[in-house]
Chains A and B, each alone.
Chain A
Amino acid sequence: MQDTLAGLSFVLPAVVVLFTFLILPLLVAFYFSFTDWSGTRPLDQPDAYEMVGFENYQRWIIDGRRVDDFYRSVRNTLYYVAGVVPIQTALALVLAVIVNQRWLKGKAFFRTAFYFPSITSSIVVSFIFLFLFSGGGPINLLLKAVFPSFEPVSWTTNNDGLVHLLLNVFGVNGRTVGPWAETEILGLEIWEWISGPSVAMFTIMCLAIWTTTGTLMVIYLSALQNIPSSVYEAAEVDGATGLQAFRHITLPLLRPTTFFVVTLGLIGTFQVFDQIYVLQNDQTARTTTSVAYLVYATAFEGTSPSLAEASAIAIVLFIIIFVATLIQRRFVGGDQAET
């Protein structure tokens, strides 16, 4: 009894903090997503809000007027996640393995160099990227120097989807593809769904990969250093090559770490906001707005902002992330992830 009480009192502070700042806001957002609260009407007023049932969800997610805006942002976010998570994970692993090699000189330099983008303010980094990818910026100049026939691309303002551009090379475009592509699913035509990330979104993805890889690399690095060298020595005795050792020892032993890194990556990318906020402009709003950005815009921008509608979108985003994490747990996680 006494132990239970003491134990409870020890976890109490953490529970209180978690409840107040994590669970409670979630519940409150869930509650307000069923109201018509503007976000500014004082809650102590009797007419602060009314319950409207599923109206907000209806409007944004089922078949209301904003369904196309919502699913367009979902499409943008999905392409963003699908592009960023695998590349940043693979890159982080490769960098960690390289930095972990005994023969490498100047390890401290490389570790710092790779980690540096992660600790720099994302706003500052975004502006540097704007400069790098501008019309007359270094990226275009470099490409021009390597491929003299290269035409400068306006990376940050181009709305063309990468898949569309690729198909266009083979002569397939919106006009020649056939009527099936005009079928509307969830507010968007199939042709719009398969656009791929736009060039502008691709630029933002490069930025995200560049900034987060460093953090993930550090996580991989610490996991790599936890693998006992005796395992590798045994493999060497058995005649395994370096590549075999990597494939059959390093990768399986890193599986829990990979699970962790991918989960972090998924949650982070589904919630992408600040890079979009800085790099988006009027021209690219349609192909770069993420779901998290849509939540912000709905809550705070325009003449009739609505915190209730923003809450509804946020709840759906939460469900999407939750489901995505469960799915990837099946693929990456398995039993070993639970240790």
Chain B
Amino acid sequence: MKVNFRLTAMMLVMALLLLAVSATTAQGTVLRVWTGASSPVENEFKEAQIAAFREAYPDVTVELLVSPDYGTQIRGAFASGDYPEVFTVGQFDFPQWQADGLLAVGTEAIETPDDIYPGLRAAFTADGELYCAPKDFSTLGLLYNIDLFDAAGLEYPSADWTWEDMSAAATALTTGDVVGFSAAADKFRWMAFFYGNGATLFDEAGEVAFDSPAGIEALTFYQSFIANGSGKMPGDLDSGWNGEAFGKGAAAMTIEGNWAIGYLNDTFPDINWGVAELPLSPAGTRGTLTFTECWAVSARAEGDLAEAAWNMVNFLTGTGDFGAKGVAEAGFGVMPARAQFSELWLTTVGEEYAAYVAGAAYAVAPIFPLGFADFDAAVNDGTTLAMTLEEDPADVMTEAADVAREILADMQ
């Protein structure tokens, strides 16, 4: 009996220990700030930003978490309802997180939003309200290998380059081991031509316009490089992605974002390359895609906490020294979200990357609306089928558009 009693007592104590929650008795306002880890340079920059914030707002205690597994970690926090006051949101996560009621409205709180590029604001706007402040962004540009262009006796891509010029150049550049163009089977590459040709996912009446003639023309153009042999997918060039194929010199041109700058200069320092805006479409217009992330405030932060949280967001993204200006001065690849600092960014990284900044004026964030996951999947699938030449570009786009129409019909 005694043994049993002791055992029970021991287990009780253990259970209590397990249950005991370390109650933190923090002083004043405590801001939990979560973001994902990226390159070491960028992580250092984020920490420098937070350190400066701590100095500027000594009353606020900041608990920073730079997580290498951010997506999973923040989802767990959301599900539990106990999530950080300030956190980053990717453009593709925004529609869902906004609909889930996780984000506070920032229209009033965000500092001079008019200065932020319109394409970026659009990515984080829902029901006419701007929810969060873009921290930085990337656009796609046309990368070209200067040495290969010289060897082929071609002129570099210029401002008046058209799709036809690009096709002709790709054919002329294809010799032996080198192809003219590295074309990933990724919708987030060819859709730059899609938007550039004036196509949209939905028309103004809200009907599906994905398989419009202009849209089909874009995928047909992108696929034509594979079909006529002047281009290959990076996998077929022994590369994991376009940047690698281009850096190795296996392709004379490719489409990649400004993240390629650091990669190419570090991994392939010998390659002599330039970047131009994407060529003009038959409609005479130009397009590119943008990829961005923003700093958001929790919908559950109230009173002083909300105020401190918005101070933090404006500190990180505003016009101050550690906001967009800081991003421009750090120059680690991503561009500042505010137009007034674009010149400064170019001074830091080099004027030769001006095409990326130029793209910001007309860039579109290629976001599929909420509830259209099947459409999204059908476009992925169709892109692969078109690029592996298994199906006709027009057919895959019509099939994907039909999926979108079905979803639209179900919603009504």
Contact = CB atoms under 8 A, between A and B. Distances in A.
Interface of A: 2, 5-6, 9, 12, 38-45, 65-66, 69, 130, 134-137, 154, 156-157, 159, 281-286, 300, 302-306
B347 interface: no
B336 interface: no
15 contacts: A38-B100, A39-B75, A40-B97, A41-B78, A135-B237, A154-B235, A282-B233, A285-B381, A286-B381, A286-B384, A302-B368, A303-B95, A303-B367, A304-B368, A306-B373
Nearest to A299: B75
A42 B101 CA distance: 9
B387 A12 contact: no
Nearest to A59: B374
Interface stretch (B1-9, B107-115, B164-172, B278-286): B1-9
Given A282-B184, A303-B368, A157 B4 contact: no
Given A2-B1, A65-B403, A300 B71 contact: yes
A302 B80 CA distance: 22
A9 B371 CA distance: 49
A119 to B, nearest CB: 23
A168 to B, nearest CB: 15
Contacts of B367: 303
Interface string B165-202: 00000000000000000001110000000000000000
B380 interface: yes
B370 A304 contact: yes
B40 interface: no
B79 A39 contact: yes
A314 to B, nearest CB: 16
B267 to A, nearest CB: 15
Nearest to B3: A6
Interface in B30-47: none
A302 B373 contact: yes
B81 A69 contact: no
B358 interface: no
Contact of B384 (A41, A134, A285, A303): A285
Contacts of A283: 185, 233, 235-236, 384, 387-388
Contacts of A40: 75, 78-79, 96-97, 100, 102
Contacts of B1: 2
Contact of A303 (B237, B238, B370, B403): B370
A5 B78 CA distance: 41
A41 B3 CA distance: 48
B380 A41 contact: no
B240 A281 contact: yes
B371 A304 contact: yes
Contacts of A45: 81, 101
A159 B384 CA distance: 11
For A6, A134, A135, A157, the residue with the greatest tally of chain B CB atoms inside 10 Å of its CB is A157
A300 B96 CA distance: 11
A65 B406 contact: yes
Given A43-B80, A282-B233, 10 more contacts: A40-B96, A40-B100, A42-B101, A44-B80, A134-B238, A282-B185, A286-B385, A300-B71, A303-B367, A304-B95
Contact of B79 (A42, A137, A286): A42
A6 B83 CA distance: 42
Interface in B339-393: 367-374, 376-377, 380-381, 383-385, 387-388, 390
Nearest to B368: A303
Contacts of B83: 42
B11 interface: yes
A69 B373 CA distance: 13
B388 A303 contact: no
B11 A12 contact: yes
B156 interface: no
A136 B369 CA distance: 42
Interface string B88-106: 0000110111011110000
A282 B373 CA distance: 17
Contacts of B100: 38, 40-42
B391 to A, nearest CB: 11
Contacts of A285: 380-381, 384
Interface string B213-251: 000000000000000000001111110100000000000
Contact of A42 (B78, B93, B99): B78
Nearest to B187: A282
A239 to B, nearest CB: 58
Given A9-B7, A302-B377, A282 B186 contact: yes
